[in-house]
Amino acid sequence: MVIGALATVNESEGSAMAFDRGLADELRACATRHVERGIPGLAMLVARDGAVFVEAVGSLGEGRGPATRDTQYRIASTTKIVTALATLALVDDGLLDLDDPVDGLLPELSAPRVLVAPDGPLEDTRPARRSITVRDLLTFTNGFGMCVDMFASPHPWPIVLEEQRLNLATLGPPNPSVQPPPDEWIARLGGLPLLAEPGARFLYNTGASILGVLIARASGSSLGAYLRERVLGPLAMTDTDFFASDPRRLATAYRPTPMGLERAVEVDEAYRHPPAFEDGGCGLVATVDDLYALARLLLDEGRDLVSGPAVRSMTSDQLRDEQKVDGAFGPDFFAERSWGYGLAVNSDGSYGWDGGLGTSFLVDPPRQLVVIVLTQRLFESPETPAVHRELRAIARRTR
C-alpha cells in the first residue's frame, strides 16, 4: 500500500478552525483498510464547517505508482450534476425555459410516439400526448431511460436490444467508445419510441445525455466548450473534462469478479482520448479538488455563476408522487429520497449523486458537510459500496 498526498487545510473565509485530528485518523484508517482489502486506490475529501481533510491512499493501479491528490477518476453519473448546472445557467441567461418543448432545438425528438407496452414490439406505438420539455429532461421524466423492470425481465425487451444495436449506450453502463457524434446520436434516439408518456414517470439517465446535445445547440458550441466557458472555467475545475489529457494521471479502471479485480479494459481505454460523443450523463473525469469546487458552489447557492433560485430548485424535490413509481433501481429507491435536477435529494436535507465507475459525491447543508470519495473500482450493484458508506458515516458522526 502506498499513502499519497495528505492535506488538512482551512478553506473558509475568516475561520481559524482546523480539521479534527481524531476524525482525520478515523477516515484515514477506514480508507487504508479498504485499500488493504482490495481497492487499488482512492482519493477522499471531507469538509466540515470550513475545515477540509484530503487524502489519497493506494495506487493508480498496475504498478503505476501512488494515487495522489491530483489523480483523475471517471466520475460517471456525477457528471449529471455538472450538466444540470449548465442547463440552469442557460435558463438564467434566457436561452432556455424549463417548460418549453425541446422540439425547436431538437427536432429529432418532435412528435414522439410511445410504446403501448414498454416490453412490447417496437412498431406497437401511439402518439405521445405532449412534447418533451427541458424540465422533463432535468427530472428524468422525458419518457426514455432505465428502469428496474428492463433488467429484471427474463427476456430482453425489444427497445433495449434496439438501443444496444444503435450504440447509444444510454440504457446501461457508460461506453463512450461506441457512441456516435451528437447529431447522429440524437437522430438515432429520435427514431425510437418512448417507454412512457413525457412527464409520466422517472426513467433514469437518458435525460442527461439528451441535455448535453440540447446545451450544445442552445449555446452554439460543443458541450465540452460550453462547460469550460460557463461552469468549469469559472470554478477553476481545470482537471475536469471528457477525457484525460494526461493519461498518466488517470487511475486504472477495475471491475470486481469472483476471482478478484480485473482491469476493465474497455472502460480504462475509453477515457484516454476525446470521445465522439460528449455524454452529459456520464462522460467526465475529475479530481477530488475539482468536485469540492462544485460542492462549494452548491453550498453557496450559486455564488455569481448561477442564480440562488436555480440552485435551490436543483437541490429540492422536483418529482410528484405518481412520477416515482418504482424508481429506476427498485421499489425502495424513493423511500428516503427524491430527485432534483441532476442529483438525488435525501430526506435528511443532504443531496448528491454517485458514479457507477467508482465515485460518490455528497453535500449535507444541515451539517455544513461535504464528502467526496473517488475510486477506480466499478460498482457491483445500484447500492453504494461499503467504502463510500463507511467514510460518510464517519464524517457525519457528531464529535
Q: What is the pLDDT of residues 177-207, one digit of tens each?
A: 999 999 999 999 999 999 999 999 999 999 9
Q: Give me the pLDDT at residue 259, please.
A: 85
Q: Does 13 score more than 90 pLDDT?
A: no
Q: How far apart are CA 255 and CA 232, in angstroms?
A: 29
Q: Does 388 score more than 80 pLDDT?
A: yes
Q: Where are the alpha helices (DSSP H) in the chain?
A: 21-36, 79-92, 134-139, 148-152, 158-165, 182-190, 206-219, 223-227, 265-270, 288-299, 308-314, 321-324, 386-396
Q: Please state the domain extents for the chain.
A: 73-353
Q: How far apart are CA 134 and CA 210, in angstroms?
A: 10
Contact 215, 340 (CB under 8 A): no
Q: Give me the pLDDT at residue 386, please.
A: 93
Mean pLDDT, the chain, rounded, equals 92
Higher pLDDT, 14 or 291: 291
Mean pLDDT along residues 101-117: 97
**Percent over 90 (pLDDT), the chain:** 84
Most confident of 6-15, 114-123, 150-159, 374-383: 114-123
- Of 128-142, 161-175, 246-260, minimum mean pLDDT range: 246-260
Residue type, 245: S
- Of 7-21, 89-103, 217-231, 336-350, minimum mean pLDDT range: 7-21
Only one residue has cell 442527461, namely: 208
* Superfamily of segment(s) 73-353: DD-peptidase/beta-lactamase superfamily (3.40.710.10)
Mean pLDDT along residues 311-318: 97
Give Rg (Cα) of the chain: 20
Q: Does 317 score more than 80 pLDDT?
A: yes
Residue 158 in grid coordinates: 425489444
Mean pLDDT along residues 262-272: 92
Measured at the alpha carbon of residue 145, what is the angle toward residues 142 and 149, in degrees to the nearest 5? 125
Mean pLDDT along residues 113-129: 98
Would you give the DSSP letter of residue 6? E
Q: Does 15 score more than 70 pLDDT?
A: no
Helix (H, G, I), strand (E, B) or coil at 367: helix
State which H helix or E strand residue 48 sits in: strand 41-48
Mean pLDDT along residues 35-61: 94
Q: Place 398 in a pLDDT band, splitting at 50, 70 and 90.
A: low
Helix (H, G, I), strand (E, B) or coil at 377: strand
Contact 175, 266 (CB under 8 A): yes
Q: Give me the pLDDT at residue 383, please.
A: 85
Q: Give me the pLDDT at residue 84, please.
A: 98
Residue 145 in grid coordinates: 431511460
Q: Does 134 score more than 70 pLDDT?
A: yes
What phi, psi does 212 have (nearest 5°)?
A: -60, -40
Question: Does the model's pTM come out above 0.85?
Answer: yes
Q: Give me the pLDDT at residue 50, please.
A: 85
Q: Give me the pLDDT at residue 397, please.
A: 84
Mean pLDDT along residues 61-69: 91
- Of 84-93, 95-104, 150-159, minimum mean pLDDT range: 150-159
Q: Give me the pLDDT at residue 4, please.
A: 36
Q: Give me the pLDDT at residue 376, please.
A: 95
Q: Does 71 score more than 50 pLDDT?
A: yes
Residue type, 161: L
Residues contacting residue 140 through CB under 8 Å, at least 6 positions apart: 202, 203, 204, 205, 206, 207, 208, 328, 339
Q: Does 7 score more than 80 pLDDT?
A: no
Exposed / middle / buried, residue 144 (Cβ in 10 Å: 0-12, 13-18, 19+):
buried
Q: How far apart are CA 190 and CA 111, in angstroms?
A: 10
Q: Place 336 in a pLDDT band, splitting at 50, 70 and 90.
A: confident
The string of DSSP letters for 69-99 reads TT-BEE-GGGHHHHHHHHHHHHHHTTS--TT
